[in-house]
Structure formats: C-alpha cells, structure tokens
Amino acid sequence: MLSLYFIGPQMIMAIGTPLFVSLYFGAAAFSSLVYVGLEKRAMEKDRWHRPTYGLGASGAISGVMVTFAALWPKATFMIYGIVPAPAWLLVGGYLAYDAYKEYYKNQHTSKVAHSAHLGGALYGGLFYLFLRKKLL
C-alpha cells in the first residue's frame, strides 16, 4: 500500500483518474480470477491440497507497479532509503520472486497469494500496451 501512496498521484497525473481507476480495479478483478483459477486447479490435482484464502489489494498494486515501471523504467526507488534501484529492476525482481515462490510454493510456509500478484502484473502489462496504443 505504501508504494501506491507514492506512485499513485504520478500515475493519476499521467493517465487521468478514470484510466487509473480502471487499471486498479481491473487488476484487482483479474488477479482474483487468476488466483481462484490456480487454486481450483491445485485442488483438483492434489486431493490433500488445502486452499489458502486471499484478501487484500496486492494484485491491484502489482498491476499499477508494472504499468508505472513500463511508463517510467528509469525512475529511481530507494530500497530501505539507501540503495537506489530503477523501477524496471525493482518490479522485475519482485515479479521474479513471486514467480519463484508460486512455482515452488509450500502451502504450509506461505500464506501469500503469489499467483494474484502475477495476475495483477499481467493485467498491468496488458494495460500498458493498451495505453501505448492509445497515446501514440
């Protein structure tokens, strides 16, 4: 949520409130669909699979972050206020971590819906392609 606080206003100024709202809620809905679909598949595949429950805005924020990084890849973020990192590297690393954790997930140690983060990111990437086409 803190990332949304810092990049939200810049995104709203760049693309406008209506598009930002459609990005945020579209990423939230799409990330939920991806999460539910993958959980259903895991339950069908493994009868001992215990479902995890997802609640939060992380998929939507993931979509906003990907769109932000696509629009401004060289924007600098300070990790812990010390280490500078370009947006593309920070978001790319975050998504690589989510992909790794989703692929090697252990439901007993993680209660994070990594698939929702990846679904939101996919929506954010597609939204950027839509924006690029619209703005050019």
Q: What is the pLDDT of residues 62-84, one digit of tens each?
A: 999 999 999 999 999 999 989 99
Model pTM score: 0.87
pLDDT score for 119: 95
pLDDT score for 15: 94
- Helix, strand, coil percent content, the chain, rounded in steps of 5: 70, 5, 25
pLDDT score for 18: 95
Give the pLDDT confidence of 28-48 residue by residue, as tens digits. 999 999 988 887 777 777 666
Give me the torsion for CA of 105, 109, 111, 112, rounded to 10°.
Answer: -50
| Share of residues in the chain with pLDDT > 90 (%) | 62
- Which amino acid, residue 1? M
Cα 83 to its chain centre, rounded Å, is: 22
**Angle at alpha carbon of residue 59, lines to 44 and 98, rounded to 5°:** 70
Inform me whether the pLDDT recorded for 136 exceeds 60.
no
Least confident of 13-17, 36-40, 56-60: 36-40
Say how far apart CA 65 and CA 115 lie, in whole Å: 16
pLDDT score for 109: 63
Say how far apart CA 136 and CA 126 lie, in whole Å: 16
